[in-house]
Structure 1
Amino acid sequence: MKAFAFLLFAVALAAPAFGEVLNRCSLAREMSRLGVPRDQLARWACIAEHESSYRTDVVGPTNYNGSNDYGLFQINDYYWCQPADGRFSYNQCHIDCNGLLTNNIEPIVRCAQEVLRMQGWSAWSTWHYCDGYVPSIDDCF
């Protein structure tokens, strides 16, 4: 029994850290704390739900152009972040793509806000799910 307990402990230490899974309200509260306008929070929650299921550690499958999408809002590495393999990127957010996979969502939110500022909501392919009625986040506060 002691050997089994030790083995479980050793595996737990060796296991990689998994990303955080947020939910609509935890995301809305955290984004509000970071200064995101309240009237945008329900849309951001909708995008995160459809892009990553509120997971911070998601790297999407390779796109047709060889790029990948990272994190909570599936931000594309060709335009917004620098991939670890050194591929060309415009890196408009001035961040390594792995910085979009952290449980600290501040850099993720700042980059997503830059995407919104430069390209609008339609930058996200899942926007059509979030362009009409979205559930209120009022019950989160």
Structure 2
Amino acid sequence: MKAFAFLLFAVALAAPAFGEVLNRCSLAREMSRLGVPRDQLARWACIAEHESSYRTDVVGPTNYNGSNDYGLFQINDYYWCQPADGRFSYNQCHIGCDGLLTNDIEPIVRCAQEVLRMQGWSAWSTWHYCDGYVPSIDDCF
């Protein structure tokens, strides 16, 4: 019983270190609050579902070129954020990659919008799941 109580205590202490897990509607509502156009929300939700399962703390496996992808939308560190280890990055979003792993999704959304502006939806490898029909987010509001 003491071991179980200790384990429960340890998990409670570690809980704040885990990222948030959103869902389609919570993401759509938060992105709408941040001013993302309503007609884009279903596509963003689809990308987040396929890239990170709506998790804010995901760091993807190392890519063929040594880069990694970060956060809710799996934004690549070679182009968009500065890796903590000092590797070269174009850092187009002017943010450290750890800033893409936060539960405050505003910097994540702003960077994702910059990716969209510069490269379009096809910047995401999972775009083929989201190009065409995607479920409406109207029931989220």
* TM-score, normalised with respect to structure 2: 0.94
Q: Which residue of 2 aligns with 1:65?
A: 65
- Which consecutive residues of structure 2, in runs of 5 or more, have no partner in the other structure? none
1:2 is displaced (CA, Å) by 5.8
Task: Give CA-to-partner distance per residue, 1:32-71, whole Å, 9 cap, x none.
Answer: 0000000000000000001001010000000000000000
Measure, in 2, the Cα distance between the counterparts of 1:22 and 1:45: 10
Q: Whole-Å Cα distance in 2 between the matches of residues 15 and 136 of structure 1?
A: 32
The answer for unaligned runs of 5 or more in structure 1 is none
- Corresponding residue for 2:106? 106
Count of aligned residue pairs for this structure pair: 141
Instruction: State the alpha-carbon separation in 2 of the partners of residues 130 and 117 from structure 1.
Output: 17
Instruction: For residue 17 of structure 1, report the CA deviation from its aligned partner.
Output: 1.0
* Cα gap change, 1:23 to 1:10, in 2 (>3 Å): closer
Distance 1:5 1:130, change over 3 A: same
CA distance in 2, matches of 1:135, 1:11: 36
Cα deviation for residue 3 of structure 1 reads 6.9
Q: Measure, in 1, the Cα distance between the counterparts of 2:65 and 2:5.
A: 47
Runs of 4+ more than 3 Å apart: 1-4
Further displaced range: 16-25 or 67-76: 16-25
Change (3 A) 1:134 1:83: same
1: CA distance between counterparts of 2:120 and 2:66? 23
Q: Distance in 1 between matches of 2:65 and 2:3?
A: 49
**Equivalent pairs: percent with the same residue?**
98
Whole-angstrom CA distance in 2 between matches of 1:14 and 1:28: 28
Going from structure 1 to structure 2, the CA distance change for 1:36 and 1:76 (only over 3 Å counts) comes to same
Q: How much is the aligned-residue C-alpha RMSD, in angstroms?
A: 1.6
